[in-house]
């Protein structure tokens, strides 16, 4: 049956930091997924700063390749840090690239089911940054998984060790959250 097909997800971290908690969160998500899903975490180090002068003829190869990977994925996991109560420039730069040219939005972004996650050493768990994503996702017509509320990782330094999630309760919560997200992605298959 078509719906038994493996669900392919792509993960975007809003941090370029080598020891980023948000990249670690995506790596933990890859391990926590149900057996019918797989997550490929994108390396974003080669994505330059957005510059409209580069459209349409000098679109960077790294961006074009990433756009194709997002277009081919069944769903998108975004792990967002929170900077000054909002979205870090790295993450905003990335989504701005992915949204261009506008004519390509239906192929790449429209209808792509998003799972928003975030980790911070601070007490708010990236709640403010996650709220700041909402108008962006709405503008780009990307449905957000909200049935289980927000996935917020507070005090990240206490739940990861050397890039690995070590908190068993959090691991369980992540697996349950992702299982429902994957089910939702599967149920949306074929829609745009």
Ligand X SMILES: Cc1cc2nc3c(=O)[nH]c(=O)nc-3n(C[C@H](O)[C@H](O)[C@H](O)COP(=O)(O)O)c2cc1C
Distance (Å) of CA 188 to CA 31, 39, 107, 115: 23, 18, 16, 14
Place of tokens 């691991």: 171
Closer residue to ligand X in complex, CB, 100/133: 133
Site string for ligand X, 68-107 (x = CB under 6 A): -------------xxxxx----------------------
Cα–Cα distance, 88 to 20 (Å, whole number): 13
Closer residue to ligand X in complex, CB, 106/163: 163
> Quick check: 160 and 192 in contact, CB under 8 A?
no
The residues in 31-60 that bind ligand X, with binding defined as CB under 6 A, are none
Q: Which of 11, 12, 15, 26 binds ligand X (CB under 6 A)?
A: 15
Cα–Cα distance, 126 to 80 (Å, whole number): 7
Residue 17 binds ligand X, judged by CB under 6 A: yes
Closer residue to ligand X in complex, CB, 100/125: 125
Residue 181 binds ligand X, judged by CB under 6 A: no
> What's the closest the beta carbon of residue 13 comes to ligand X, in angstroms?
7
Residue 124 binds ligand X, judged by CB under 6 A: yes
Q: How many residues bind ligand X (CB under 6 A)?
A: 14
Nearest to 25 by CA among 85, 66, 93, 80: 80
Number of helical H runs and strand E runs in the chain: 6, 7
165 beta partners: 160
> What's the closest the beta carbon of residue 36 comes to ligand X, in angstroms?
28
The binding site for ligand X (CB under 6 A) comprises 15, 17, 20-22, 81-85, 120-122, 124
């Amino acid at each position: 049956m078509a719906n038994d097909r493996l669900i392919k997800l792509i993960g975007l971290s809003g941090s370029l930091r080598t020891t980023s908690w948000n990249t670690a969160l995506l790596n933990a998500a890859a391990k926590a997924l149900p057996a019918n899903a797989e997550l490929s975490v994108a390396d974003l180090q080669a994505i330059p700063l957005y510059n409209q002068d580069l459209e349409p003829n000098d679109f960077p190869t790294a961006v074009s390749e990433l756009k194709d990977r997002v277009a081919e994925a069944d769903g998108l996991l975004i792990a967002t840090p929170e900077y000054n109560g909002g979205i870090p420039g790295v993450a905003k730069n990335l989504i701005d690239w992915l949204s261009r040219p506008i004519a390509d939005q239906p192929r790449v972004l429209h209808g792509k089911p998003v799972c928003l996650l975030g980790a911070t050493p601070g007490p708010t768990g990236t709640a403010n940054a996650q709220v700041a994503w909402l108008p962006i996702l709405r503008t780009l017509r990307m449905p957000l998984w909200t049935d289980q509320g927000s996935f917020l990782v507070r005090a990240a330094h206490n739940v990861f060790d050397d890039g690995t999630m070590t908190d068993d309760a959090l691991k369980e919560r992540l697996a349950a959250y992702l299982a429902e997200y994957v089910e939702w992605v599967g149920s949306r298959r074929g829609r745009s």
